[in-house]
Structure 1
Amino acid sequence: MSLHIQMVGTGSAFAKTLYNTSALLINEYGKILIDCGASVPKALHELNIQPDQLDGIVISHIHADHVAGLEEIAFRLLYQYNNKRIKLFITEPLAEILWEHTLKGSMHNLAEGFTGLTDYFDVTFLAENTPAKLLPGLVIEPIRTLHIQDKISYSFFINNKTFYSADVRFNEQLLLQVVHERGCHTILHDCQLTGHGAVHATLAELLTLPADVQQRIYLMHYDDTMPQYIGQTGRMRFIQQHQIIALDA
């Protein structure tokens, strides 16, 4: 059984040419989308993937570059695709925040009976630090990681061999554990190219990692100046928009 990840977008929240960072996990049983920022519906369209072709969406946290596209996906499933429902994989505390503080203002419609996430999606709750089967051959484990102080945010282990950071501050100890204790062969990590790493790991910080960790890292969630940094990432590589890499299933 083969599992691949394809980057829908690789850009930071403020990137204009790369689309919001999001990825498809693809095997012979389906397609699962990780995060759905404002530009993701357009990016999916460019890949010739329509909302009804998704089997589910996983949400890491509620910043707009990770969830603002959910409204379009939900309304298109409802009105264009005859109320087709797909799964929304999310932890229970994050689901409440997502609805009450992000989506409710535009998607709440008491007259038509739309009063929560479960009226648009088949919501499947994930538990922290607990592997969950999303598809045959695809298991995801959410772990709480630090992005914004006092804001819930998750990174993911995929099939226990790939680490997907979503958005996270630099944490050397975590990355050493990911490699040396969890045995992950692939890491997809957000990367702020310049400045102080207040809410993201910076390239300068990631370059301090040991070579055996760096060589497993694909950099994502970067800004539009990325081409200027090619060749300056140590043993790490930039993963490009639409690029597909194979993951051990």
Structure 2
Amino acid sequence: MKIQFLGTGSAFSMKNYHPNLLIEEEGKRLLIDAGGDVRFALRDIGLSSNDVDSVYITHLHSDHIGGMEYIAFTTYFNPNREKPTLYCHKILVEDLWSHSLKGGLQSVQGKVLNIYDYFNVNALNHNGFFQWQGIEFHLRSSIHVYNGFSTIPTFGLIMHSKTGKKIFLTSDTQFTPDHLKESYNFADIIIEDCETSPFRSEVHAHYDDLRTLPAEIKSKMLLWHYQDNVVDNFDEWQAKAQADGFKGFIKKGEIFEA
């Protein structure tokens, strides 16, 4: 299983792309999130939406779904390909369509469409899983935003590669080590949301908080979803992260074999 980091930046990064992954196995490609930068990120590695077979969506912020209209239209109007498969938690499907995609995708010349016209939708249960190319992907919820009335979750993944490695993608998450402890301990590799801004958003795990984690957890962590200050001084930040016990920061375009 080849994992390529299409982007590793925060939502508002100007020097990086959105934190999206491309997983490749036996000639097929699964996109993990499709932010607004995804068409450029794919172009930079010589691909386009027509090279993507399936998409998994973790949650509904634009750095994770802002490119879904691009994926939908460019595949729908390509007569030479089938609809991509869309995997996401079942509670996201209606909001993804009604609150995010419907305005742009509902109407085409002579037709009224819905999400099922664009994608083969596989709506997943809480703590459910799906199989793709013989690889198992298990959903793991993370706490991202509390709006005063309810918690807005994201749905990360534990990926079981064919080599036996277990990779935990937290997706966007607050610093909640007790909530994520089981997944942290279970995984061989952790792809961790890491805010590096001097001004905390409180909805992303901040580097200074992640530093306090046990050494055995930090040593498995690859850090991404960071601000442009890391891009500006990558070598300095990388040395700092490794001195603090992390595996390190991931660069845009980096490839990881699992």
Query: What does residue 114 of structure 2 align with?
Result: 116
Aligned to 1:22: 20
User: Separation in 1 of the partners of 2:142 and 2:65?
Assistant: 18
C-alpha distance in structure 1 between counterparts of 2:127 and 2:239, whole Å: 36
Matched, 1:246 2:257: yes
Q: How much has 1:98 moved relative to structure 2?
A: 0.5
SS in 2 for 1:147: strand
Q: Does 1:235 align with 2:245?
A: yes
Out of 208, 219, 222, which is 1:204 matched to? 208
How far did residue 141 of structure 1 move? 1.2
Distance in structure 1 (CA, Å) of the matches to 2:111 and 2:17: 33
Distance (Å, rounded) in 1 between the aligned partners of 2:46 and 2:110: 31
Counterpart of 2:171 in 1: which secondary structure? Answer: coil
Change (3 A) 1:79 1:110: closer
In the other structure, the counterpart of 1:176 is: 181
Note the C-alpha offset of 1:80. Answer: 3.9
Shift of 1:238: 0.3
CA distance in 1, matches of 2:77, 2:213: 48
- Structure 1 residues 151 and 174 mapped into 2: Cα distance closer, same or farther (>3 Å)? closer
Q: Could you tell me the TM-score, scaled by structure 2's length?
A: 0.88
Counterpart pick for 1:163 among 153, 168, 187: 168
Aligned counterpart, 1:193: 196
Cα distance between partner residues in 1 of 2:112 and 2:166: 39
Give the structure 1 partner of residue 224 of structure 2: 220
The answer to whether the Cα contact below 8 Å between 1:114 and 1:120 also exists between their aligned partners in 2 is no
Inter-partner Cα distance in structure 1 for 2:255 and 2:189: 13
Residue aligning to 2:154? 153
Rounded to whole Å, the distance in 1 between the matches of 2:120 and 2:25 is: 21
How far apart are residue 151 of structure 1 and its match? Answer: 2.2
Q: Which moved more, 1:77-86 or 1:226-235?
A: 77-86
Q: CA deviation at 1:33?
A: 0.5
Cα distance change on mapping 1:179 and 1:165 into 2, 3 Å: closer
Correspondence for 2:77: 79
Displacement of 1:112 after TM fit? Answer: 3.8
Kept after mapping to 2: 8 A contact 1:176/1:213: no
User: In the alignment, is the contact (CA less than 8 A) between 1:52 and 1:81 conserved in 2?
Assistant: no
Counterpart Cα distance in 1 of 2:211 and 2:201 = 13
Look up the SS of the partner of 2:209 in the other structure: helix
Identity among equivalent pairs (%):
29
The alpha-carbon distance between structure 1 residues 85 and 197, as it changes in their structure 2 partners (threshold 3 A), is same
Q: Distance in 2 between matches of 1:210 and 1:108?
A: 48
Q: Structure 2 CA distance, aligned partners of 1:68 and 1:208?
A: 33
What SS does structure 2 have at the residue aligned with 1:61? coil
1:174 Cα deviation after fit:
3.5
- RMSD over aligned Cα, in angstroms? 1.7
